[in-house]
Structure 1
Amino acid sequence: MSSRKRVFDLLRTINVASCQCPAHGYRGNIHVSNSTPVKDYAFEIKCSTVRYGLGVTREVGQDLVNLNAKNVCVMTDSNLVSLNPVKAVLNSLTKNGVNYKVYDRVRVEPTDSSFKDAIKFAKEGNFDSFVAVGGGSVMDTCKAANLYYCDPDADFLDYVNAPVGKGKSISLQLKPMIAIPTTSGTGSETTGVCIFDFEEIHAKTGISHNALRPLLAVIDPLHTLTVPEKVSNYSGFDIFCHALESFTAVPYTERGSAPANPTLRPAYQGSNPISDVWARFCLQTLQKYFVRSVYNADDIEARSSMHLAATMAGVGIGNAGVHLCHGLAYPIAGNVKSFVPKDYGTEPIIPHGLAVVMTAPAVFRFTAPSDPDKHLEAASLLGADVANAKRDDAGKILSDTILKYMDAMKIENGLKALGYTSSDVPDLVKGALPQDRLLKLTPRPQSADDLSKLLEDSLTIY
């Protein structure tokens, strides 16, 4: 406290003694307060170290040697375990003499039960590091396994976001984690967030803390060349909504009160000038490469660009956050009935990117009045002509632009095509309301009736 006082006293002394002649400009009297501001006034940009390049996976064994790793937990899923991305990782580990054990039971769209199975595996090993090879489901599962491995006495709900869980802050040091994404969508390789379906409430929730961020994200576009069309399609819409939502999220100065300690500033802070840079980059990349990457699997330029965009969107959302599309998507995916998409196996599932984009046209019509200029800019970055657009039309213009992409990608015609009817809307609203962290980042406040209307408007979209 005494050192803090000396700093403030020094600032005041400098202010009084400063030259105030016209040549140097009068800067006014600087007021330094010891109290915490009511509104937040700062933002932070944190992300994993990112390494990008064709074939860069070959270096992961050397990375683990550099970390002095002796026993590595490699996590993946049953579809990937025999494919080239995992083979490349294990070859690199073997070549560099790194011991490892493989967990290949990660569930696509994980649940609290599948998280607990992975946590049990981790606790049974004497691991000093973790490697995730796969999509967002694998990376999120690996983050959770690392956390509860390092805090073996914790109750599962201790770290789960409130109000579902206790939202406990992570104060312990986790083991080094390297994330190697094989799909282009979630951006989980750079974020401190892991998401799962909480089976008790049929909705997604998660754990959010900067300590969960992987130490290193290895971005190797070669892994995307074998991704099936539908997986590439739906994953791409996750990038799409990450960029749009982080770009239009409530500004960081309006998100909430300033933390008493900077370590308490949340991972999702609201839109800010740096996350906006990543969002713009992603929207421009989508405009140029999205369609090409989905319908031309061997287009290495398109798939490489989308893979990089996924990571950059992760940097953006990992600091700014997402809002209403994701908040509504969690119960949409969690209450799946019988929808079985192509390229995703035989079990009913609503892939995350599909669940997120399904309400996007309605959501951005709703949020546009909060900042029409930003919504028009987003539409322009996606290819819309907004030269003579009226600010009052921003919502419709961005919504129509989103629908053009959805139509080009043959996205299903609304929630009805996924098996939902109007009678399901109350349950979907019930599942969305606990997503407090995301709903508060939405640039317009919303009631339960507002959420109902957004879902009703999304039952049929074309």
Structure 2
Amino acid sequence: MTWLPANPEAVFTYGAPQLKFGPGSADEVGHDLRVLGATRVLVVTDPGVLATGWPDRVAEGIRAAGLEAVVHDSAHVEPTDASLVAALDRARADGPFDGFVAVGGGSAIDTAKAVDLLLTDGGELMEYVNVPVGAGRAPGGPLAPLVAVPTTTGTGAESTTICVLDVLSLKVKTGISHARLRPALAVVDPRLTATQPPGVTASAGMDILYHALESWTARPYTSFERKQPGERVPYCGSNPISDLWSERAMALLAKAFRTAVRIGSDESARGDMALAATFAGLGFGNAGVHLPHAIAYPVAGRVRDFHPEGYPSDEPMVPHGMAVALTAPEAFRWTFEADPDRYLAAARLLEPGQPGQGPRWSGEPRDVLPGVLVDLMRDIGMPNGLAAVGYDEGDVHDLVEGALKQQRLLATSPRAVGADDLAGIVTRSLQLWE
């Protein structure tokens, strides 16, 4: 189905945080917070990142600038509704705070977003969670300033308006989405990513890739019905500004991704991955993501007994970037007809060496991009489809039902998608290569 609105949208919106990038930028956070008007700051991190020493170093810099700083290792890897409430309770006990800093991956940044939201605006967590899982309440006013200092190259959470969480009782991953959740400042210091294990670099890098590729292929903003100014949402569809960020992110990934996984000490590759993550966040944080992310939420939320390399081993999990990657080749094969030229252009951007050449390009055009994606998965050690992380044909129905709850993401799909379409994508993704 082609999107044919009766009254096409003619306006797109674009938002981004202030950005500071480069080695040494994390040592300047105290100065930045003082400029933002903060006096008493909560630094949110997780136990693993805390052990690297970076959160305490950032806190010392904040104190050296004349501000108070309290460090909480309250973030849970892949946040849940329970972990966010626990982090909120701990922050409330040590508050009040008029500024927040997140030092960590997307889990720490999303935890800080939720704590800031609930301490500043009040209410209960599920009031803010996206419809239909929650009530979709919007913040009533501006939040306290949040400075995001990422330590992983993947989520782009430092640039976005999204807080992602698992709702444990429903076994589904969902989110909170509002422009006021976007950090006031993103501080991207590539030095902080040097401690990423290869498995984390691979999974987080897959999140960069699909932020960029889904943003690049999202339905155009002109394919939506025209909205009144107060009705426009952060995910507005692909647009000329987001396209520039997404295109550049893909080019950087083609150059650096495999090297960053294989040689973690390569400073050039680490720097390119950090820049790619930021660029992709600046793209998808406005255009949106679609099918691979929508299916990834139940894939991560319903995991039974998979323990990925490089992550905490005390509980099963499918890391977010990995969950997105597992159905992406088949999702992009299915959506190819929406814009064949754009899909082939993406394949050229992502293919290393001599893009656009070789046997792959003489076959079916719809198979080109999936082939590029599968080759990358194999090179960096991603599992071979959903079966490799514990799913089988008996799980297809539940995974589809979970994906159908992600209406905010499905609305950005380049093709209108139903339950049968999703079931086909999931089934074909059980095994991706022989």
Work out whether the TM-score is over 0.5: yes
Which residue of 386, 398, 405 maps to 1:434? 405
Q: Structure 2 counterpart of 1:267, which letter?
A: P
Q: Structure 2 counterpart of 1:139, which letter?
A: I
Q: Distance in 1 between matches of 2:298 and 2:91?
A: 29
Equivalent residue of 2:45, what SS? strand
Whether the aligned pair in 2 keeps the contact of 1:201 and 1:431 (CA below 8 Å) is no
Which stretches in structure 2 are left out of the alignment for 5+ residues? Answer: 1-5
Which stretches in structure 1 are left out of the alignment for 5+ residues? Answer: 1-36
Which residue of 92, 97, 101 maps to 1:131? 101
Whether the aligned pair in 1 keeps the contact of 2:121 and 2:139 (CA below 8 Å) is no
Q: Which residue of 2 aligns with 1:249?
A: 218
Whether the aligned pair in 2 keeps the contact of 1:233 and 1:294 (CA below 8 Å) is yes
* Paired residue total: 423
- Bigger CA drift: 79-88 or 210-219? 79-88
Equivalent residue of 2:173, what SS? strand
Equivalent residue of 2:29, what SS? helix
Q: Which residue of 2 aligns with 1:458?
A: 429
Q: Structure 1 counterpart of 2:430, which letter?
A: L
CA drift at 1:387: 6.5
Q: Structure 1 counterpart of 2:326, which letter?
A: M
Q: Distance in 2 between matches of 1:91 and 1:342?
A: 32
Q: Does 1:365 align with 2:333?
A: yes
Q: Distance in 2 between matches of 1:206 and 1:391?
A: 41
Which residue of 58, 63, 74 maps to 1:105? 74
Whether the aligned pair in 2 keeps the contact of 1:375 and 1:394 (CA below 8 Å) is no
Q: Structure 2 counterpart of 1:397, which letter?
A: V
CA drift at 1:40: 1.8
Whether the aligned pair in 1 keeps the contact of 2:155 and 2:208 (CA below 8 Å) is yes
CA drift at 1:198: 1.0
Which residue of 38, 44, 65 maps to 1:75? 44
Whether the aligned pair in 1 keeps the contact of 2:199 and 2:309 (CA below 8 Å) is yes
CA drift at 1:55: 1.3
Which residue of 295, 301, 304 maps to 1:334? 301
Whether the aligned pair in 2 keeps the contact of 1:181 and 1:189 (CA below 8 Å) is yes
CA drift at 1:369: 0.2
Q: Does 1:232 align with 2:201?
A: yes
Q: Does 1:298 align with 2:268?
A: no
Which residue of 176, 179, 184 maps to 2:148? 179
Q: Distance in 2 between matches of 1:399 and 1:163?
A: 31
Whether the aligned pair in 2 keeps the contact of 1:372 and 1:391 (CA below 8 Å) is no
Q: Distance in 2 between matches of 1:129 and 1:190?
A: 17
Q: Does 1:377 align with 2:312?
A: no
Q: Which residue of 1 aligns with 2:369?
A: 398
Equivalent residue of 2:102, what SS? strand
* Residues 269-284 of structure 1: pairs in structure 2 closer than 5 A: 269-284=236-251
Q: Does 1:447 align with 2:418?
A: yes
- Bigger CA drift: 198-207 or 180-189? 198-207
Q: Which residue of 1 aligns with 2:138?
A: 169
Equivalent residue of 1:80, what SS? helix
Q: Does 1:199 align with 2:207?
A: no
CA drift at 1:323: 0.2
Q: Which residue of 1 aligns with 2:3?
A: none
CA drift at 1:309: 0.6
Q: Distance in 1 between matches of 2:363 and 2:286?
A: 29
Residues 405-461 of structure 1 show CA distances to partners (whole Å, capped at 9, x for unaligned) of 011112111111101111011111111111001111110111111111111101011
Q: Which residue of 1 aligns with 2:26?
A: 57
- The structure having more radius of gyration, on CA atoms, is 1
Q: Structure 2 counterpart of 1:142, which letter?
A: A
Whether the aligned pair in 1 keeps the contact of 2:249 and 2:279 (CA below 8 Å) is yes
Which residue of 24, 37, 41 maps to 2:10? 41
Q: Distance in 2 between matches of 1:56 and 1:102?
A: 19
- Bigger CA drift: 193-202 or 328-337? 193-202
* Residues 114-153 of structure 1: pairs in structure 2 closer than 5 A: 114-124=83-93, 125-152=95-122
Whether the aligned pair in 1 keeps the contact of 2:361 and 2:368 (CA below 8 Å) is no
Q: Does 1:208 align with 2:177?
A: yes
Q: Distance in 1 between matches of 2:154 and 2:131?
A: 26
Q: Which residue of 2 aligns with 1:307?
A: 274
CA 1:390/1:345 → structure 2, altered by over 3 Å: closer, same or farther? closer
Whether the aligned pair in 2 keeps the contact of 1:74 and 1:101 (CA below 8 Å) is yes
| RMSD of aligned residue pairs (Cα, Å) | 1.6
Whether the aligned pair in 2 keeps the contact of 1:134 and 1:182 (CA below 8 Å) is yes
Q: Does 1:354 align with 2:283?
A: no
Q: Distance in 2 between matches of 1:107 and 1:94?
A: 25
- Bigger CA drift: 296-305 or 166-175? 166-175
Whether the aligned pair in 1 keeps the contact of 2:38 and 2:145 (CA below 8 Å) is no
Q: Structure 2 counterpart of 1:395, which letter?
A: R
